């Protein structure tokens, strides 16, 4: 992934058989990634997967995954359970905006560990979320409880969410065009 160290935006869409996006060492190589959009990947279970046969040795610098990331969009990932599983604390020092839509299996952002997002401003249009892990747990567990008690999400609201994410993506693209 050293070749991608200058990459600022990564969009992954309609990768039906992709179970995870990359390993921690590959993520650390994306030194300038500012925007990560993952959409409509039907088999994705986690974004970052643990390195195989590497043990804890390779994981010593985990906290610096995507050190410049500002925007994260996870949309229509029906099997996504979490972003990453680690026992360590992850830091996203520049993460400002997160959108997590139609990821119905998501139970937590970082499984087993913790996440630090000191400048996070917006999560799914909610202002100032202090703990991303707690927000994901509360948001997705309450939706699960609603569906277990006879509540359901209509197709119309699915389309409304899709329209909202498309509007947000258009706004993000327009704002990125204005940047040098």
Run means of pLDDT, 10 residues per run, the chain, 180 residues: 81 95 87 96 92 48 76 96 85 92 91 86 84 85 48 39 51 45
Question: What range defines the domain where residue 16 resides?
Answer: 2-50+60-134+145-177
Please give the model's pTM, rounded to 2 decimal places.
Answer: 0.74
Ramachandran sector of residue 133 (left: φ over 0; alpha: ψ -120 to 50; beta: rest):
alpha
How far apart, in Å, are the Cα atoms of 81 and each of 44, 50, 70, 99? 9, 14, 22, 15
Residue 2, pLDDT score: 58
CB under 8 Å to 148, separation ≥6 — which residues? none
Q: In terms of Cα–Cα distance, which of 47, 62, 43 is closest to 108?
A: 47
| pLDDT value of residue 171 | 54
Cβ-count burial 168-180 (b if 16+ within 10 Å, e if not)? bbeebeeeeeeee
Q: Does some domain include residue 25?
A: yes
CB 4 within 8 Å of CB 41: no
Contact 37, 69 (CB under 8 A): no
- In this prediction, residue 162 carries a pLDDT of 47
How many domains is the chain built from?
1
Domain assignment present for residue 78? The answer is: yes
């Amino acid at each position: 992934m050293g070749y991608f160290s200058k990459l600022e935006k990564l969009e992954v869409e309609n990768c039906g058989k992709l179970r995870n996006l990359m390993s921690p060492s590959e993520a650390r190589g994306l030194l300038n990634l500012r925007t990560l959009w993952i959409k409509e990947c039907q088999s994705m279970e986690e974004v970052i997967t643990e390195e195989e046969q590497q043990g804890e040795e390779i994981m010593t610098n985990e906290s610096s995954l995507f050190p410049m990331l500002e925007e994260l969009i996870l949309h229509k990932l029906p099997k996504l359970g979490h972003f990453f599983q680690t026992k360590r604390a992850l830091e996203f020092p520049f993460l400002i905006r997160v959108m997590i839509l139609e990821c119905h299996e998501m139970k937590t952002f970082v499984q087993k560990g913790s996440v630090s997002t000191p400048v996070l401003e917006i999560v799914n249009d909610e202002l100032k979320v202090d703990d991303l892990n707690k927000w994901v747990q509360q948001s997705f567990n309450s939706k699960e409880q609603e569906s277990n008690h006879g509540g359901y999400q209509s197709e119309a609201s699915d389309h409304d969410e899709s329209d909202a994410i498309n509007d947000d993506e258009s706004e993000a693209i327009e704002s990125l065009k204005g940047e040098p």
